[in-house]
Chains A and B, each alone.
Chain A
Amino acid sequence: MDVSQYLEIFIDESNEHLQSLNEQLLVLEKEPENKDTINEIFRAAHSLKGMAGTMGYKRMQNLTHNMENVFAEIRNDKMKVTANLVDVLFQCLDALESYVANIQSSQDEGTYDNEPVIKELDNFLNSGNSKTAPTVKATSVAVETAASRENGYNSIVLADFEKHAVNEALRRDMNVYKIQVTVDPNCILKAARAFLVFKNLEGHGEIIKSEPTVQDIEDEQFDLSFNIVIVSKESFDGITKIIKNVSEIGDASGEAITTPFPAEEIDAEEDNQNNSNQNNSNETKPAAVNQKAPVVNNKSQAKTVGRSVRVDIEKLDVLMNLVSELIIAKNGLVSASNSEDDQNTTNQGFNEQIEYLERVTTNLHESVMKVRMMPIESVVNKFPRMIRDLSKKLDKKMELYMTGEDTELDRTVIDEIGDPLMHLLRNSADHGLESGEVRQERGKDEVGSIFLDAFQDGNNVVIEVRDDGNGIDIERVKNKALEKGVITEEQASMMPDKEIIDLLFRPSFSTTEKISDVSGRGVGLDVVKSKIEALGGDVEVKSKYGEGSTFTIRLPLTLAIIQALMVKLGDEKYAIALGSIQTIEDIPVSEIKHVHSKEVIHLRGNVIPLVRLSKVIELPGIQEEPENITVVIVNKGDKQAGLVVDSLIGQLEIVIKSLGKYININRMISGATILGDGSVALIIDVNTLV
């Protein structure tokens, strides 16, 4: 069987199973007796094993097999879950992850057998229950079947329509056979073998009935044997030979149905069985249609992780509808232009159609964006495990609380945001949280808390990493900066606290005295900052010494198309993203106040600093001061600023384009766009100005 086409699915699903194993193990660690969790783990491990085997990754299969043995023992109450065991199991997961990573990069699982871990698993098995250890495999086979159905081929019960089919086939001089197929007891991939049986028979006849259903068989919901009824022109021997040709199929036995079923018998039951027949036929027919290997069978319930974007059918339907509306709008325009009425009505028709078209394109854009969006969950769900490991490694008690995992971000952002978040969490765990003793001294709960909150704020997505630990020691940062010569004594005395905290984002700046395994090598915050800025976002810190710190990451929701306010500065046009604009005010020059020689305005109880955009963009020429200035009030989080512009043009949906890699652009320009007249307008990123 050529499996390369399933590689992508295999990687996706392996990652999903590993993630689920990680999550469930964390639960199990806290609730060692939780039966549901154990079952869930067992299922995931079993699927992993099956998939790895199908794909021919023997080492991976071997390791999961050993894990499965342990889980089977736990499930059968022959072994207890201990902290040590959980540790070893986590190591196994790491090993499996590295296999999957290898496969992803080179299609090969690598050559490392992970023997030490397997040995430890064996030790657990042997110490747990020495008697049953060797026979674990048999037990596991026994438990994984849904129900034993070794009734033989004679017990096949045919529904009415199937009997009809049999009669019909006999009338046409076709042969009908009942066959019981038995799979070799040592077969690991029963479902795959059964699938091959179905596939090989496809060309030789029609399977009108299988017991259990095809779906169940593909899900491995059967014991060592299953029954089929097949209509074929070939001889009985021919059919059984085809079946037996599939490797690891033990036996195929059965007989031919030669006598038609009596008609009355069928009719009598027909009425009351109508409904169930419908169901049955649905389940049986896919035998021919469903050519996918068992690897894909649980795709529908799978969570979205992986390289490709899995798109909700509903989202595609919406897209489809919008496209058909576009066509209607186009037709409307055509007919409006053909209309022979007088000028006025034609114009009106045009305008109506253009409005319609506009609505459709806006919705279309929104829907396409939604297709690209993924919940942040796929990134953050690996963090609980990471915090657990850190907790052990650092010997600090800590707990991670996450909210807003369903916040959606663009796919490209999702791919990049994992590392920066991990850095920040590690930072909180290592630098942020104090040791247990210090916490108790300070009257805090011994267990430190780290919070990861994600939420949408206008056109931005905000992710906050917060801890209730030590907070940033301003003095220490200052001293460190002096020591490293980053700032001078004079600068240090002048600097506000916020700027000192910002020093942390400078390259190679770490305040931890001892370099730990976890963090403190001086790479970290500067990497976080540059990565997030590369994504068009920014990062901020708030900290209170002794109480904790908050890192706030702000990311743009959309990357390609935004709604913007077009403004004019001198002769130049600029775009400002609508999402960050709060209000637009017309303010008499006389109302401008000066605080610390900076211009501010007083607006509805808020003091808002003014930013003269024409100065920021170094507009050539001299501007005369009008009596009233137009101020665009923008906000970033809870901070506000008033951007002074010459005049407003209006709202426009703009496509963001890059300016190319050779030109150095200031951070305040986030891109450019092409206006209706073909000219270029630059986009101002207000986040850098507030």
Chain B
Amino acid sequence: MDELKLNSVEESTSLQYIVVNIGNEQYGINIKYIDNIVRIQRITRVPKTQPYYKGVINLRGEIIPVMSIRIKLGLEDDEFTDKSRIIIVKVDNASIGIIVDQVKEVVTLDEDNIENIAADVNDEFSGYINAIGKSKGELITLLDVIGIIVEKEN
């Protein structure tokens, strides 16, 4: 297992994550997807869309759908506070906003501190999680950004 991991990592062995609070847990989002972090602003509701989409916002002339990761992860609905932020992630040139309770810090995790977790077929949320990271004695759930924003084909 360790050998395999060594082979797959070519350039750097450490990855940067932005650590955010969602509910009682800490989640990490790979910095390479992050385009921007903005404060909560007026969200226009979009009727009849997926329930976890709060609506759309206008970010410098671009219309960006905003999703509630809380609803997506099966937690209770968001309660916006001063610390709430929208993290704008960009995948395939399309942006999406993810609402988080709080943005804490940026951490650099070595490969050694990242532990892949086996996908659990029975867990509907396992597709959203990549691995668990360890930093300063705390555990950070590393989110699979693509898994979260790309709708599973049913």
Contacts and interface: CB of A to CB of B under 8 A. Distances in A.
Contacts of A619: 47
B94 A662 contact: yes
A680 B64 CA distance: 10
A663 B47 contact: no
Interface stretch (A625-633, A639-647, A664-672): A664-672
A453 to B, nearest CB: 35
A660 B96 contact: yes
A663 B53 contact: yes
A660 B64 contact: yes
A661 B49 contact: no
B34 interface: no
A679 B46 contact: no
Contacts, number: 74
A674 B61 contact: yes
Interface in A602-633: 616-620
B65 interface: yes
B65 A659 contact: yes
Interface in A300-323: none
Q: Which of B63, B95, B96 has the most CB of A within 10 A?
A: B63
Nearest to B64: A660
A659 B63 contact: yes
A496 interface: no
Interface string B36-51: 0000001011111110
A682 B46 CA distance: 8
Interface in A48-62: none
B79 interface: no
Nearest to A620: B45
B41 to A, nearest CB: 9
B151 interface: yes
Given A572-B45, A669-B46, A681-B44, A660 B63 contact: yes
A660 B95 contact: yes
A658 interface: yes
A49 to B, nearest CB: 45
Contact of B47 (A662, A666, A674, A681): A666
A657 B47 contact: no
Q: Is the interface of A mostly helix, strand, loop or mixed?
A: loop
A677 to B, nearest CB: 9
Contacts of B65: 659-660, 662-663
Contact of A666 (B49, B61, B64): B49
A665 B63 contact: no
Nearest to B93: A661
Contacts of B96: 660, 662-663
A664 B151 contact: yes
Contacts of A665: 46, 48-49
A266 B95 CA distance: 76
Q: Which of A660, A662, A679 has the most CB of B within 10 A?
A: A662
Interface string B54-75: 0111100111110000000000
B56 A664 contact: no
Given A660-B65, A660-B94, A663-B65, A674 B46 contact: no
Contact of A680 (B48, B49, B58, B95): B58
B1 interface: no
Nearest to B52: A663
Contacts of B151: 662, 664
Nearest to B91: A662
B131 interface: no
Of residues A616, A619, A658, A665, which shows the largest number of chain B Cβ atoms within 10 Å of its Cβ? A665
B106 to A, nearest CB: 25
B9 interface: no
Q: Give the contact-size bracket for chain B.
A: 20 to 34
B94 A680 contact: no
A679 B47 contact: no
B50 A678 contact: no
Nearest to B61: A674
Contacts of B55: 680
Most chain A CB atoms below 10 A, which of B48, B49, B50, B95:
B48
Nearest to B148: A662
Nearest to A619: B47
A30 to B, nearest CB: 52
A620 B149 CA distance: 25
B150 interface: yes
Interface in B85-138: 92, 94-96
B58 A679 contact: yes
B47 A669 contact: yes
Contacts of B149: 662
Contacts of B92: 661
Nearest to A570: B45
Contacts of B63: 657-660, 672, 674, 680
A616 B44 CA distance: 16
Q: Which of A616, A665, A680, A681 lies at the interface centre, i.e. has the most chain B CB atoms within 10 A of its CB?
A: A680
Given A660-B95, A672-B56, A618 B48 contact: yes
A678 B58 CA distance: 7
Contacts of B56: 659, 663, 672, 680, 682
A618 B95 contact: no
A660 B63 CA distance: 8
Contacts of B150: 662
Contacts of A663: 46, 49-50, 53, 56, 65, 96
Contacts of A679: 42, 44, 58
Contacts of B49: 663-666
Nearest to A657: B63
A652 to B, nearest CB: 15
Nearest to A671: B63
B38 to A, nearest CB: 13
A665 B92 CA distance: 19
Interface in A164-215: none
Interface in A670-690: 672, 674, 678-682
A669 B56 CA distance: 13
A682 B44 contact: yes
10 contacts: A617-B48, A618-B48, A664-B50, A665-B49, A666-B49, A668-B47, A679-B42, A679-B44, A682-B44, A682-B47
Given A659-B63, A669-B46, A672-B63, 5 more contacts: A657-B62, A659-B65, A674-B61, A678-B58, A680-B42
Cβ-closest 9 pairs across A and B: A663-B65, A666-B48, A617-B47, A680-B44, A657-B63, A672-B63, A674-B58, A680-B58, A660-B94
